[in-house]
């Protein structure tokens, strides 16, 4: 199998020589790059161990699982895994590390009551990685997707801490890049205990890169394995359903960004000429834009009401547009929608997750920019379970067709819901991979 990537191996020595040389030579570039960015500057003390490191793990006999999720996407993917780990090993200490500020914020919001501690991942410096490991004393380290940090993995190997990759993914482009340095990465992969890849293609790429085939399995994509929304109507969905009972058809535009609302509004008004029963709910992604979006709608001469201005028990709405100016009610809006639009996709923001409207069986439209959710959107498009438009003109055409006969779109929503059910199970496979490396007594099932 070849020599593993351990401290003192040729690959490890070369890596640290190049790393140290680069830090010194490029200091005039990287120091301003870090210090002039508020986001990069904010977590610098945490990542070098000066602040925010959790207190040393007590030797109380509890097993410790360290899950590393670099940013928002990986953190959201880790949620079903961590919830299942909490159920299967209820006495375990679950730690979650992040690299980005948004990833850390997402962990705080999504994993409250599930994870025991959260902190920022250390920079890949040998002494620093060892210090973090010695303080946390994990029984297993879980890396979500593909974060291969040589010094961190070498420090784990020195301490006998098993490392597991879950939701493992190697795109065609990244695989080609890794293969050019296979001599370097293959020994690192040989130190891993298990790799749960998203697809069979990903599994083959890990094996080709040098991972032992016996440790590589296909576990599926954790991003698909979200929990379905809780049953029962929310106050907002009840309000929208009441309007539907009076003949309204709701288009819910969620997580919209600057530049999208104007396009949506024009397309909506064009479609509404043929069907005055159409209503539009706008849910801007960022709360600080609520006032600007309301002003935009009013400038177009369209009646609008804010969610917070509707008293409890109000009668039927008379306004054409409902502005959702609250946080946490979008799922309830999707539950009562006849058609959904997921924002960040008409403008180049990378899109947002289409799974929430899909759980409700709501036909969903996205624009051309779905880079941040490419795997999910590609799978739904291939299954004819998602509608993608190239821009405002095509969006107006689809909304006009919807206005003429909403039933034409219902099959798309039903296919999305059925497809989503087939993707479930990744959290079970990933949890099994983690527990296979976790010493101690049997976990609950």
Residue 305 lies in a domain: yes
230 in catalytic set = no
Q: 326 and 380 share a domain?
A: yes
8 A C-beta contact, residue 89 and residue 438 = yes
Residue 147 lies in a domain: yes
pLDDT level of residue 437 (50, 70, 90 thresholds):
very high
- Residue 22 predicted with pLDDT over 60: yes
Q: What is the pLDDT of residue 441?
A: 46
Q: What is the pLDDT of residue 121?
A: 92
Q: 266 and 183 share a domain?
A: no
Q: Which residues of 34-73 are buried (b: 16+ CB within 10 A; e: fewer)?
A: eeeeeeeeebeebbebeeebeeebeeeeebbbbbbbbbbb
Over residues 363-390, the mean pLDDT reads 93
Q: What is the pLDDT of residue 316?
A: 86
CATH number, domain of 271, equals 3.40.50.2000
Phi, psi of 438 (to 5 degrees): -95, 115
Compute how many other C-beta atoms are within 10 angstroms of the C-beta atom of residue 23: 13
Q: What is the pLDDT of residue 2?
A: 46
Q: What is the pLDDT of residue 8?
A: 65
Q: 218 and 251 share a domain?
A: no
8 A C-beta contact, residue 234 and residue 317 = no
Burial of residue 189 (CB within 10 Å: 0-12, 13-18, 19+) is: buried
Residue 2 lies in a domain: no
How far is 53 from 45, CA to CA, in rounded Å?
Answer: 10
Per the structure, the count of domains in the chain is 2
Residue 274 lies in a domain: yes
Q: 242 and 184 share a domain?
A: no
Q: 95 and 210 share a domain?
A: yes
Q: What is the pLDDT of residue 127?
A: 87
pLDDT digits (tens, 9 = 90+) for 174-189: 899 999 999 999 999 9
Q: What average pLDDT does the structure give for the chain?
A: 89
Q: What is the pLDDT of residue 445?
A: 47
- Residue 365 predicted with pLDDT over 70: yes
Q: 24 and 108 share a domain?
A: yes
Q: 178 and 319 share a domain?
A: no
Q: What is the pLDDT of residue 81?
A: 93
Over residues 147-169, the mean pLDDT reads 93
- Residue 206 predicted with pLDDT over 90: yes
Give, in order, the Cα–Cα distances in Å from 262 to each of 271, 341, 347: 14, 14, 11
Q: What is the pLDDT of residue 193?
A: 96
Full domain range(s) for residue 270: 235-422
Q: What's the pTM value of the predicted model, to 2 decimals? A: 0.70
8 A C-beta contact, residue 220 and residue 198 = yes
Q: What is the pLDDT of residue 372?
A: 78
- Residue 5 predicted with pLDDT over 70: no
Which of residues 380 and 42 earns the better pLDDT score?
A: 380
- Residue 51 predicted with pLDDT over 80: no
Residue 174 lies in a domain: yes
Compute how many other C-beta atoms are within 10 angstroms of the C-beta atom of residue 21: 10
Residue 83 lies in a domain: yes
Residue 230 lies in a domain: no
8 A C-beta contact, residue 223 and residue 319 = no
pLDDT digits (tens, 9 = 90+) for 223-242: 787 666 555 568 899 999 99
Residue 161 lies in a domain: yes
Over residues 283-299, the mean pLDDT reads 95
Q: What is the pLDDT of residue 1?
A: 42
Q: 95 and 129 share a domain?
A: yes
CATH number, domain of 126, equals 3.40.50.11720
Q: 201 and 245 share a domain?
A: no
- Residue 52 predicted with pLDDT over 70: no
Q: 46 and 24 share a domain?
A: yes
- Residue 101 predicted with pLDDT over 90: no
DSSP letters spanning 21-71: HHHHHTHHHHHHHHHT-HHHHHTHHHHTTSS-PPPPPP-SS--EEEEE--S
Q: 245 and 130 share a domain?
A: no
Q: What is the pLDDT of residue 232?
A: 56
Active-site hit among 74, 261, 294, 356: 74
pLDDT level of residue 220 (50, 70, 90 thresholds):
confident
pLDDT level of residue 59 (50, 70, 90 thresholds):
confident
Q: 284 and 216 share a domain?
A: no
């Amino acid at each position: 199998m070849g020599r593993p990537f351990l401290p003192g191996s040729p690959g490890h020595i070369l890596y640290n020589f190049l790393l140290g040389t680069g830090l010194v030579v490029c200091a005039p570039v990287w120091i301003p790059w870090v210090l002039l960015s508020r986001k990069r500057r904010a977590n610098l003390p945490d990542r070098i161990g000066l602040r925010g490191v959790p207190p040393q793990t007590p030797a109380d006999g509890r097993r410790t699982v360290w899950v590393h999720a670099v940013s928002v996407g990986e953190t959201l993917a880790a949620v079903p895994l961590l919830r299942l780990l909490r159920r299967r090993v209820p006495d375990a200490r679950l730690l979650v590390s992040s690299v980005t500020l948004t990833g850390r914020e997402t962990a705080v919001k999504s994993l409250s009551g599930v994870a025991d501690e959260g902190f920022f991942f250390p920079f890949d410096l040998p002494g620093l990685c060892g210090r973090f490991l010695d303080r946390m004393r994990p029984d297993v380290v879980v890396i979500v997707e593909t974060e291969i940090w040589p010094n961190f993995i070498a420090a784990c190997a020195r301490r006998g801490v098993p490392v597991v990759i879950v939701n493992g993914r190697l795109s065609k482009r990244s695989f080609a890049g890794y293969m050019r340095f296979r001599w370097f990465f293959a020994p690192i992969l040989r130190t891993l205990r298990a790799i749960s890849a998203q697809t069979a293609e990903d599994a083959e790429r890990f094996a080709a890169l040098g991972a032992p085939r016996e440790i590589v399995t296909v576990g599926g994509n954790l991003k698909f394995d979200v929990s379905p929304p809780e049953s029962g109507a929310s106050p907002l969905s009840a309000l929208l359903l009441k309007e539907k009972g009076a003949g309204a058809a709701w288009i819910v535009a969620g997580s919209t960004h600057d530049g999208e609302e104007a396009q949506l509004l024009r397309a909506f008004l064009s479609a509404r000429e043929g069907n005055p029963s159409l209503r539009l709910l706008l849910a801007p992604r960022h709360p600080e834009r609520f006032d600007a979006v309301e002003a935009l709608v009013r400038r177009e001469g369209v009646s609008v009401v804010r969610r917070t201005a509707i008293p409890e028990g109000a009668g039927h709405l008379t306004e054409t547009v409902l502005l959702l100016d609250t946080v946490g009610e979008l799922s309830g809006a999707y539950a009562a929608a006849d058609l959904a639009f997921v924002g960040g996709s008409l403008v180049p923001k990378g899109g947002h997750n289409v799974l929430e409207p899909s759980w409700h069986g709501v036909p969903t439209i996205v624009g051309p920019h779905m880079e941040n959710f490419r795997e999910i959107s590609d799978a739904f498009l291939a299954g004819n379970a998602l509608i993608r438009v190239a821009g405002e003109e095509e969006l107006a055409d689809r909304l006009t067709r919807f206005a003429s006969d909403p039933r034409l779109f219902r099959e798309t929503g039903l296919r999305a819901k059925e497809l989503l059910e087939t993707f479930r199970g990744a959290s079970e496979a990933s949890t099994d991979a983690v527990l296979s490396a976790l010493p101690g007594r049997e976990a609950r099932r």
